């Protein structure tokens, strides 16, 4: 009897890939995640997800210093039209950068030794016609308690979202200098922080997907 793959079974497989503790091959897990997003957002095997806006990590550097493990990255993407329109109407958009450090283990799954998140809230102020970017290690609400940086133009504000410099993702003690480590980096538009009506409309819609993933070896005490 031939094996038939249904959309439901494939969805379960995608969830397993995303929730596994740690597969032995790091690039495979990252590419599988991207593939699942592409396919599921497209709605099925035969639907081409033409409107998915994949971002690209053009630069990524992580190094262990006396101050800790510092990460710098550059992400390139264009805002989908629906996201741009929502921003222009004063609806804030949330971006999330995640970094995980794994120590290589030949005898078992690689061990995660550190994990950090960078939450970014981008909003347009209609009265002043200026843009505000707030950055925090925790999810940002609407209380306004997180300090933000102001920008005169959308392009300047978006450029600040796309650049990360000297982000402290772990203490130096978390990384064994005698072992090999790899940093997994992921950047995405976080629709879970949107107002409820937008969340309902955005889930599963390709126009609301901005995603980039990349990994690389951790540099130890570079001189």
pLDDT tens-digit readout, 117-163: 999 999 999 999 999 999 999 998 765 577 899 999 999 999 999 99
pLDDT tens-digit readout, 32-75: 455 454 444 444 333 334 456 668 999 999 999 999 999 999 99
The mean predicted confidence, pLDDT, of the chain is 79
Q: Are 119 and 96 in contact (CB under 8 A)?
A: yes
Task: Determine the distance from the C-alpha atom of residue 198 to the mean position of all C-alpha atoms in its chain, rounded to a whole number.
Answer: 19
Sign of CA dihedral 185, 188, 193, 196: negative
Give 30's strand partners.
none
Q: Flag whether the pTM goes above 0.85.
A: no
- In which band, very low, low, confident or very high, does the pLDDT at 192 lie, cut at 50, 70 and 90? confident
DSSP 28: H
Give 54's strand partners.
211
Q: Are 73 and 57 in contact (CB under 8 A)?
A: yes
Strands of the 111-125 sheet, one edge to the other: 53-54, 210-217, 181-189, 93-103, 111-125, 130-136, 148-151
Q: Are 60 and 217 in contact (CB under 8 A)?
A: no
Task: Locate 79 and state its tokens.
Answer: 């805002």
Extents of the domains making up the chain: 51-220
Residue 40 has a pLDDT of 44
User: Where is 30: in which H helix or E strand?
Assistant: helix 26-42
Residue 205 has a pLDDT of 67
Q: In CATH, what number does 51-220 get? A: 2.60.40.10
Task: Locate 32 and state its tokens.
Answer: 């599988």
Residue 5 has a pLDDT of 40
């Amino acid at each position: 009897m031939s094996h038939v793959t249904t959309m439901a079974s494939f969805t379960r497989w995608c969830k397993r890939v995303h929730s596994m503790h740690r597969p032995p091959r790091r690039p495979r897990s990252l590419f599988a995640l991207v593939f699942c997003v592409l396919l599921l957002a497209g709605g099925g095997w035969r639907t081409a997800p033409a409107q998915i806006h994949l971002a690209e990590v053009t630069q990524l550097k992580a190094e262990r210093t006396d101050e800790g493990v510092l990460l710098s990255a550059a992400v390139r993407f264009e805002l989908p039209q629906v996201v741009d329109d929502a921003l222009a109407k004063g609806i804030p958009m949330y971006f999330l950068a995640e970094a995980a450090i794994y120590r290589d283990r030949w005898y078992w799954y690689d061990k995660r030794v550190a994990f950090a998140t960078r939450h970014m809230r981008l909003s347009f102020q209609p009265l002043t016609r200026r843009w505000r970017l707030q950055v925090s290690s925790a999810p940002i609400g609407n209380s306004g308690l997180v300090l933000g940086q102001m920008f005169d133009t959308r392009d300047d504000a978006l450029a600040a979202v796309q650049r990360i410099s000297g982000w402290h993702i772990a203490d130096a003690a978390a990384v064994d200098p005698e072992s090999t480590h790899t940093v997994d980096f992921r950047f995405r538009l976080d629709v879970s922080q949107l107002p409820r009506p937008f969340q309902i409309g955005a889930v599963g819609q390709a126009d609301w997907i901005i995603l980039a993933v990349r990994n690389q070896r951790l540099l130890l005490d570079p001189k």
